[in-house]
Amino acid sequence: DAKTTQPNSMESNEEEPVHLPCNHSTISGTDYIHWYRQLPSQGPEYVIHGLTSNVNNRMASLAIAEDRKSSTLILHRATLRDAAVYYCILRVGGSQGNLIFGKGTKLSVKP
Amino acid sequence: KAGVTQTPRYLIKTRGQQVTLSCSPISGHRSVSWYQQTPGQGLQFLFEYFSETQRNKGNFPGRFSGRQFSNSRSEMNVSTLELGDSALYLCASSYASGQGRHEQYFGPGTRLTVT
């Protein structure tokens, strides 16, 4: 079962930063935090993952709280192409690495 | 590098029939995972294959099976189709298996409709 909590939907304006929150209060020390997104009519797309430290890549940044019970995916400048469902996934340490998707956050971007 | 490809993209079958879906992973990737996506249940893990061996399996009935070939291409088979099997079937490939599968690359999916 998914162990993350995300808002059902969020709205953003184009070219503004977007902060997508995720709560994972039952996280354990070896659990990885993954983010994927799914654009309309496409398969999910890997965005970023982290364990303890904040992470940056070309797509986004991942800010992880010090107690690791929450994290935030940051899109620095939203574009219309960023409109998608964003999934925060807790990948249990010691597991076989399967992704257990929750319902995600549907992000709408307004021009 | 070409992405994950899935064939066919769309399929219509009748209850009781069987179906085979195909997935070609990214070149060099040896792990292939299959997922089912429905409006009600969301995305659910079916199984993973690595080096022609099933590494782990989700909570689906035995009617769902798969295999992987020596070139890492994978097929998924569903026998005795039920209406509830109508879904988008997604394949994902990754270089590593198990815990190392941080980045999974998904194909566009096969939309299966069972009538």
Give Rg (Cα) of chain B.
13
Cα of A7 to nearest chain B Cα, Å = 16
Distance, CA of B89 to CA of A35 (rounded, Å): 20
Name the more confident of A31 and A94.
A31
**For chain A, what is the largest distance between any 2 Cα atoms, rounded to a whole number of angstroms?**
43
Q: What is the mean pLDDT of residues B16-36?
A: 96
- Mutation site, B41, B102, B103, B110, interface A, largest A CB count within 10 A: B102
Query: Which pLDDT tens digit goes with each residue over B42-65?
Result: 999 999 999 999 988 899 999 999
Q: Which of B104, B48, B68 is nearest to A44 (CA)?
A: B104
Percent pLDDT > 70 in chain A is: 94
Distance, CA of B111 to CA of B59 (rounded, Å): 21
Q: Give me the pLDDT at residue A95, please.
A: 61
Contacts of B34 in chain A (CB under 8 A): none
Q: Give me the pLDDT at residue B1, please.
A: 67
SS3 B83: helix
Whether residue A27 is predicted with pLDDT greater than 70 in this model: the reply is yes
Q: Give me the pLDDT at residue A93, please.
A: 63
Contacts of B102 in chain A (CB under 8 A): 32, 34, 49, 97
Q: What is the mean pLDDT of residues A22-35?
A: 89
